């Protein structure tokens, strides 16, 4: 089974980059399942019905979320219409789900969405919940398990690897929007601290630079904006999974409409 995971897709530039590159990559690389972090789809904050339908039409098999999952009120209705996850460790009683089981090549893949603790508000412990959920899935005979860990700190993400090494197939970090070069395979578990954003890369983590600079220099918040025109970047992780083991993984990257290139091969720890 070969999966492709696209990190935080930010606004219209991110959606356009994804729609442009995905069809060719799916065909050229033989992708079986496509998973996309969609919490920034609609102008950088949340998911609307329009933005979700736009990408669902491209054949996205699963959308994951994060701290912006609840930014648009209509998300509650979308949970029943599309394969959308929100972090598993949000407080009980909230709508939606944090785990989804997909099928491809005669094998099942469980996708788990988790939110980190640091600077993320009120959530349950992601480590304890991840451990329990992985145990539940493996008891059901599901060994291919992918985790999108949406977290602020690199230490949380790195810690999740060492907690679950050998028990899950792939852990990919999202949220910081800045891709890291630590793609590796450890005890059969693929790992990268952050996939990096898909969207504008000539501003500040996907948004127009003036509002962040105003906040940095004055301490006063100003509404972020997504540029209508910008240089774009597309970033994704491709991983081969077999019976719960990540056998290979690599990162692909494309600027604007240039052909996507493999930029990083997984190192075996």
Q: Which helix (H) or strand (E) holds 199?
A: strand 199-200
**Dihedral of the alpha carbons of 228, 212, 210, 52, in degrees to the nearest 10:** 10
Q: How far apart are CA 243 and CA 231, in angstroms?
A: 39
> Catalytic residues, which ones?
68
Q: Is 210 helix (H, G, I), strand (E, B) or coil?
A: helix
Nearest to 40 by CA among 64, 73, 4: 64
Q: Angle at Cα 74 formed by Cα 68 and Cα 80, nearest 5°?
A: 100
Q: Is 134 helix (H, G, I), strand (E, B) or coil?
A: helix
**Dihedral of the alpha carbons of 71, 72, 73, 77, in degrees to the nearest 10:** -120
């Amino acid at each position: 089974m070969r999966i492709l995971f696209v990190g935080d897709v930010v606004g219209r530039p991110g959606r356009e980059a994804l729609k442009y590159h995905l069809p060719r990559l799916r065909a050229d690389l033989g992708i079986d399942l496509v998973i996309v972090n969609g919490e920034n789809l609609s102008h950088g904050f949340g998911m609307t019905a329009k933005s979700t339908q736009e990408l669902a039409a491209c054949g996205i098999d699963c959308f994951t979320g994060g701290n912006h999952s609840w930014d648009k009120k209509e998300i509650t209705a979308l949970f029943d219409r599309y394969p959308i996850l929100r972090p598993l460790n949000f407080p009980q009683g909230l709508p939606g789900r944090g785990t989804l089981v997909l099928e491809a090549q005669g094998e099942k893949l469980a996708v788990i969405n988790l939110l980190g603790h640091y600077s993320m508000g009120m959530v349950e412990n992601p480590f304890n919940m991840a451990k329990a959920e992985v145990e539940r899935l493996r008891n059901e005979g599901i060994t291919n398990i992918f985790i999108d860990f949406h977290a602020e700190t690199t230490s949380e993400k790195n810690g999740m690897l060492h907690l679950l090494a050998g028990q899950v197939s792939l852990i990919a970090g999202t949220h910081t929007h800045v891709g890291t070069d630590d793609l590796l395979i450890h005890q059969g578990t693929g790992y990268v601290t952050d996939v990096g954003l898909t969207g504008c890369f000539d501003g500040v983590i996907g948004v127009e630079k003036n509002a962040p600079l105003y906040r940095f220099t004055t301490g006063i918040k100003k509404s972020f904006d997504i540029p209508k025109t910008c240089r774009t970047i597309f970033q994704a992780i491709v991983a081969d999974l077999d019976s719960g083991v990540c056998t290979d993984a690599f990162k692909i990257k494309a600027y604007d409409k240039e052909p996507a290139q493999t930029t990083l091969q997984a190192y075996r720890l």
